[in-house]
Every structure is written in C-alpha cells, then in structure tokens.
C-alpha cells in the first residue's frame, strides 16, 4: 500500500534526505495550499467572528454589570443621605418640642408655687392673729383667775376677805413686774 516516494531512486543509491527530496515538493505544496487556504477561510469567516463575539459579549456584560452596580450604589447613597437628613430633622424637632414643654411646665409650676405661697402666707397671718387674740384672752382670764386665787389665798391666810380692788391692783403689779 504505502510506498515511499524515494523508492524510485536509481540503482539502490542512498535515498535523498526526505526534507530535500524534490519529488515530494509538488504534492506537499498542493496540499499545503489547499489545507492552509481552507483553514484561513474557516478562521476568517467562522472561528474569529465567533470567539470575538463571545469575548465582546462578556466584556459588554461585565461593563453593563459594573455600571448597574455604580447606579445602585449611587441610589443607596442618596437613600442614606435622605435618611440621615430626616433623622437630623426629627432630632431637631424633638429637641424644640422638649424645650417648649419644659418651659411651659416650669412656668406653670412657678405660678402654682407662688399662689400656694401667697395662700400659705395669708393663712399664716390669720393664724398669728388668732394666736394673738387667744393669747390676749388667755391673759385676761389669767388675771381673773389670779385675782380670785390671790383673794382666796389671802382669805385662808388672814381669815378675812380683802377688798377686791386691793387684790386686783396687787395682781396687776405682779403681772406688770
């Protein structure tokens, strides 16, 4: 079946070195031309567009994903900013409300305290008056009792009742002294 190209070398002479055997050049060139051109066309028309398309599609996909991620990040940043803003607003409002309430309550308490104080002062004054009156009355009673007691003591000691006027004067002297 397979016959070496150099078997035609004349008279059993040493066959030529295969790569330099001119007899094989024509066949090699023809088939090289056919297969190389076929490969070139296949590469040019099919393989390169296909692989290029795949690589390009991947690059676009990655780029698209990156821009999408950047967009989402921007969105979340804006949301965060808005949230912080509303938080700060709420805090400021709460502060204002608290201040106002505290002032109002302080004022009310102050007023109540003043009223109460005034009332207490009035009652204190009343009480003092009552005490003074009671004390005066008591003192008056004390004089009567003292006079009677003195008269009774003198009568027991002396045996004769002294004049009421004398006893009264003596008691007045003592109470004054």
Partner 1 sequence: MADPISQFEIKNLVKIAEIGGSEIHFTNSALFMAITVVGIWALLVGGTSARALIPGRLQSIAELSYEFVANTIQSTAGKEGMRFFPLVFTLFMFILVANMIGLVPGTFTVTSHIVVTASLALLVFFTVIFYGLYKHGLGFFRLFVPHGIPIYILPLIVFIEVLSFLSRPISHSVRLFANMLAGHITLKVFAGFVTLLGGLGIAGVIGAALPLILVVALTALELLVAFLQAYVFAILTCIYLNDAIHPGH
Contact status: 64 vs partner 1 (CB under 8 A): no
Three-state SS annotation for 55-100: HHHHHHHHHHHHHHHHHHHHHHHHHHHHHHHHHHHHHHHHHHHHHH
Q: How far apart are CA 82 and CA 173, in angstroms?
A: 95
Contact status: 147 vs partner 1 (CB under 8 A): no
**Smaller CB separation from partner 1, 59 or 115:** 59
User: Least distance (Å) from partner 1 to the CB of residue 59?
Assistant: 11
Residues touching partner 1: how many (CB under 8 A)? 42
Q: Contacting partner 1 (CB under 8 A), which of 11, 12, 13, 26? A: 26
How many Cβ atoms are within 10 Å of 171's Cβ, its own excluded?
A: 20
Cβ–Cβ under 8 Å, residues 51 and 43: no
Contact status: 36 vs partner 1 (CB under 8 A): yes
Rg of the chain in Å (alpha carbons): 67
User: Least distance (Å) from partner 1 to the CB of residue 74?
Assistant: 26
Q: How far apart are CA 92 and CA 71, in angstroms?
A: 32
**Smaller CB separation from partner 1, 37 or 94:** 37
Choose the binding region for partner 1 from 27-35, 87-95, 118-126, 159-167 (rule: CB under 8 A): 27-35
User: Least distance (Å) from partner 1 to the CB of residue 61?
Assistant: 6
Q: Contacting partner 1 (CB under 8 A), which of 30, 69, 98, 139? A: 30
């Amino acid at each position: 079946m397979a016959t070496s190209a150099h078997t035609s070398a004349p008279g059993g002479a040493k066959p030529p070195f295969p790569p330099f055997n001119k007899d094989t050049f024509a066949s090699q060139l023809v088939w090289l031309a056919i297969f190389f051109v076929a490969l070139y066309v296949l590469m040019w028309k099919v393989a390169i567009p296909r692989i290029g398309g795949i690589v390009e599609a991947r690059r676009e996909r990655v780029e698209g994903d990156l821009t999408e991620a950047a967009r989402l990040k921007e969105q979340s940043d804006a949301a965060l900013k808005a949230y912080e803003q509303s938080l700060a607003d709420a805090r400021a409002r709460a502060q204002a409300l608290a201040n106002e309430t505290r002032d109002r309550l302080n004022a009310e308490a102050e007023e109540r305290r003043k009223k109460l104080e005034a009332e207490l002062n009035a009652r204190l004054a009343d009480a003092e008056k009552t005490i003074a009156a009671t004390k005066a009355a008591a003192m008056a009673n004390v004089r009567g009792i003292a006079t009677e007691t003195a008269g009774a003591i003198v009568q027991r000691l002396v045996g004769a009742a002294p004049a009421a006027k004398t006893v009264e004067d003596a008691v007045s002297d003592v109470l004054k002294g």
